[in-house]
Structure 1
Amino acid sequence: MNATFNIWKTSRATYLKFLENYSLEQLNKIPEGMSNNLIWNIGHIIVSQQGLVYRLSGLPRYVSDEMTAKYQNGSVPTGNTTQEEVDEIKNLLISTMNQTISDYEKGIFKEYTPYETKTGFSLQNLNDAIEFNNYHEGIHLGFMMKIKRFI
């Protein structure tokens, strides 16, 4: 899993650069013809990872129910994200990753409920979920690269 975690760390560092290099206005801008923005994509990957890894393992998530509702599959931005929310997302971007790696190394994950993603991936265990998460985050990074061309 070292390679998988290293890929994840690199991915999250790339997301962090968006939070550090774009203004609040740019993070919130939804380009014409698109349904979300930069900050929604970052919130979404955090919430999705928590669901794929913790919820499906029967463990509590490290994100609030409110955040989950705001950024889960099928949601769309409903207004501008505040600077305080961006700061929370920035913290969670790294803290949830570090916590997951620590929890994995401690062996706290004991069970996993198999899950089929909307894209047809069959996740049978925790390792499948962690590896799929990297793929999922890559998809959203691609969306963000497209969005940034229009802001």
Structure 2
Amino acid sequence: MQVITNHKVIRNNFEKAVEKVNETDLVMIPAGFNNHILWNIGHAIVTQNVLLYGMSGLDFTLPIGYIKRYKKGSFPAEIEDPKTELENIFELGKIANEQLGYDIREMKFDDYQPYETSFGITLNSFNDALQFNNIHESLHLGYVIAIKRALGY
């Protein structure tokens, strides 16, 4: 599926984008921004789980603590060890994607609750959500890049 291939590229681009960002800058909120690099990455990964699993009436595949910390409407929390948090987020995202592949093959997403996004796009099915997720993650990848520039990278 092209949508899955595109998603893997987006996630890879998140990892590339932060390769040379120091730990302090992962949680720095530059003037004019409401959140930091780490929050944008965590939010992208959590939102995928909420849109695909939550709106399908299935259990999340991410720990509820991460869902609460990075869900829509949340604000960056104090993070004691940003580098470890980032590594955990990326690892949880990979595990969640593996589970997603399995669950798609098992056709677990047959009951989707329609949801209107803040973009004004209504998601009426799992496939709508899967495609929209790439738009959403790309937006937050753009924020990560913009924050890096604001921080002088």
TM interval, short-chain normalised: over 0.9
Shift in Å, 1:81: 5.1
* Residue 142 of structure 2: aligned partner: 142
Shift in Å, 1:78: 2.5
Q: 1:132 and 2:132 equivalent?
A: yes
What are the ranges of 5 or more consecutive residues in structure 2 without an aligned counterpart? none
What are the ranges of 5 or more consecutive residues in structure 1 without an aligned counterpart? none
Shift in Å, 1:119: 1.4
Task: Let me know the Cα RMSD of the aligned residues.
Answer: 1.4
**Relative to structure 1, is the Cα distance of residues 45 and 39 closer, same or farther in structure 2, using a 3 angstrom cutoff?**
same
- CA distance in structure 2 between the aligned counterparts of 1:96 and 1:18, rounded to whole angstroms: 21
Shift in Å, 1:124: 0.5
Shift in Å, 1:90: 1.7
Q: 1:56 and 2:45 equivalent?
A: no
Bigger drift between 140-149 and 90-99 goes to 90-99
Describe the superposition over 1:37-75 as per-residue Cα deviations: whole angstroms up to 9, x where unpaired: 111000001110000000111111111222111111111
Please tell me whether the aligned partners of residues 11 and 138 of structure 1 are also in contact (alpha carbons under 8 angstroms).
Answer: yes
Describe the superposition over 1:22-46 as per-residue Cα deviations: whole angstroms up to 9, x where unpaired: 2221211111121111110000011
- CA distance in structure 1 between the aligned counterparts of 2:80 and 2:57, rounded to whole angstroms: 30
Could you tell me the TM-score, scaled by structure 2's length? 0.91
Partner AA of 2:23 in structure 1: L
Please tell me whether the aligned partners of residues 12 and 94 of structure 1 are also in contact (alpha carbons under 8 angstroms).
Answer: no
Please tell me whether the aligned partners of residues 43 and 71 of structure 1 are also in contact (alpha carbons under 8 angstroms).
Answer: yes
Matched residue count? 150
* Residue 17 of structure 1: aligned partner: 16
- CA distance in structure 1 between the aligned counterparts of 2:115 and 2:66, rounded to whole angstroms: 22
Bigger drift between 76-85 and 3-12 goes to 76-85
Partner AA of 2:21 in structure 1: Y
Q: 1:27 and 2:26 equivalent?
A: yes
Could you tell me the TM-score, scaled by structure 1's length? 0.92
Deviating beyond 6 angstroms after TM superposition, the runs of 4 or more aligned structure 1 residues are: none
Bigger drift between 15-24 and 61-70 goes to 15-24
* Residue 65 of structure 2: aligned partner: 66
- CA distance in structure 1 between the aligned counterparts of 2:38 and 2:17, rounded to whole angstroms: 9
- CA distance in structure 1 between the aligned counterparts of 2:122 and 2:104, rounded to whole angstroms: 21
**Relative to structure 1, is the Cα distance of residues 129 and 115 closer, same or farther in structure 2, using a 3 angstrom cutoff?**
same
Partner AA of 1:47 in structure 2: V
Identity of aligned residues (%): 35
